[in-house]
Amino acid sequence: MNALIRHHLHSLRQSGVRFASAPFAALANMVVIGVVLALPLGMYLLVSNVQSLASSIPTEPQISVFLTPGAAKTDVAALENRLRAVEHVRSVRFVSREAALASLKRSPGMADVISTLRENPLPDAYVVTLGEGSAAAAERLESELKGVPGIAHVQVDSAWVRRIDALLSLGRSAVILLSALLSLALVAVTFNTIRLQILTQREEIEVSKLIGATDAYVRRPFFYWGGLLGASGGLCALLLVFLAQVLLNRNLSEFGNLYGVELRLQFLPVADAALFLAFAALLGWVGTYLSVSRHLSKIQPR
């Protein structure tokens, strides 16, 4: 058992020595793997930030009911009673045209525009909020309210939430597909790199087998080398995505200031970054396993 542990430590140390003995080749492999992994990682980070932003927005279906100018008070009162009696309705809020105009004035850049208006062009309105999961009820209520006396227009305000969910689902599917394809590319890069290492050490492997080394003994250093290669490539990918995030956050900050909002991409949590490094190391190990299984059996002591 002690000999096995010592050989594991020796194999790991030997992999580090190989990296140090050929720094330019190792750096080139790291950059290639890093670029391969950076694209799906960057897409995942973008989708995660958009999903986080979308989750902070209320998703209860809302209906804006705009009243006709000069609508009769009896029609307005009957409309409010009708809205409150509808199933799934959580709240009914009246927004006067004066309150709507005051709210619009507080929007960045709108105060000067509104000051040029001779009169208030906004109508009175009711904002109806339904319970979560009542999208079908919102659409049904929208169709029922069209043509009711005193109503000029009916609009479902939360329809865009479903569109965002559909886009996020599409983005997640694209990330999974791209990750699968580029993972195969990483395995291929590792496969070829290990093949070259095996050919370089062919004579050393033959001597080791001649004096009784088992296949497991000979393979072990290559497995550590492949895992270390994948992990270092994953670290390079994290660094590339972090630098891209810093550059994008500068532009997003300037863009958000124009609209009075704070826009900023959040990086991966530490646990997710560690899981990504472990996945990159696993891909390197898989490429090594395939390469070693194919080429090492062809080397026999003479």
Q: Give percent of the chain with pLDDT exceeding 90.
A: 5
User: What does the pLDDT read at residue 56?
Assistant: 59
Residues 202, 189, single domain; the answer is yes
> Which SS3 state, helix, strand or coil, does residue 228 take?
helix
Cα–Cα distance for residue pair 170/163, rounded to 1 Å: 11
Residues 141, 254, single domain; the answer is no
Instruction: Out of 157, 180, 208, pick the residue that ends a domain.
Output: 157
Cα–Cα distance for residue pair 43/49, rounded to 1 Å: 10
Whether this model's pTM surpasses 0.85:
no
Residues 8, 92, single domain; the answer is no
Residues 152, 96, single domain; the answer is yes
- pLDDT band for position 66 (cuts 50, 70, 90): confident
Residues 51, 171, single domain; the answer is yes
Two tokens, residue 239: 């660094």
Q: What is the mean pLDDT of the chain?
A: 76
Query: Mind listing the pLDDT tens digit for each residue in 236-288?
Result: 999 999 998 888 888 877 777 766 667 788 888 889 899 999 999 998 888 88
Instruction: Out of 121, 138, 157, pick the residue that ends a domain.
Output: 157
Torsion of CA 110, 113, 117, 120, to 10 degrees: -10
Closest of 51, 55, 57, 46 to residue 265, by C-alpha = 46
User: What does the pLDDT read at residue 43?
Assistant: 86
**Considering its fold, how many domains does the chain have in total?**
2
Residues 168, 153, single domain; the answer is no
Least confident among 65-69, 107-111, 250-254? 107-111
User: Cα dist. 16→1, 94, 196 in Å?
Assistant: 23, 70, 17
Residues 120, 237, single domain; the answer is no
Closest of 60, 75, 69, 70 to residue 145, by C-alpha = 75
Instruction: Out of 157, 188, 203, pick the residue that ends a domain.
Output: 157
Cα–Cα distance for residue pair 58/125, rounded to 1 Å: 20
Closest of 23, 63, 38, 20 to residue 233, by C-alpha = 38
Averaged pLDDT, 28-33: 82
Averaged pLDDT, 7-34: 68
Domain membership of residue 229 as a residue range = 2-56+162-298
Q: Give percent of the chain with pLDDT exceeding 70.
A: 72
- pLDDT band for position 197 (cuts 50, 70, 90): confident
Structural contact between residues 268 and 171, judged by C-beta atoms closer than 8 angstroms: no
Query: Mind listing the pLDDT tens digit for each residue in 133-169?
Result: 556 667 777 777 777 777 888 877 656 666 776 777 8
Averaged pLDDT, 21-26: 66
Averaged pLDDT, 184-209: 76
Residues 218, 103, single domain; the answer is no
User: What does the pLDDT read at residue 275?
Assistant: 92
Q: What is the CATH number of the domain that holds 109?
A: 3.30.70.3040
Residues 43, 181, single domain; the answer is yes
Closest of 214, 192, 99, 88 to residue 139, by C-alpha = 88
- pLDDT band for position 213 (cuts 50, 70, 90): low
User: Cα dist. 284→192, 230, 281 in Å?
Assistant: 11, 4, 5
Residues 225, 106, single domain; the answer is no
User: What does the pLDDT read at residue 59?
Assistant: 58
User: What does the pLDDT read at residue 60?
Assistant: 66
Residues 185, 274, single domain; the answer is yes
Residues 142, 282, single domain; the answer is no
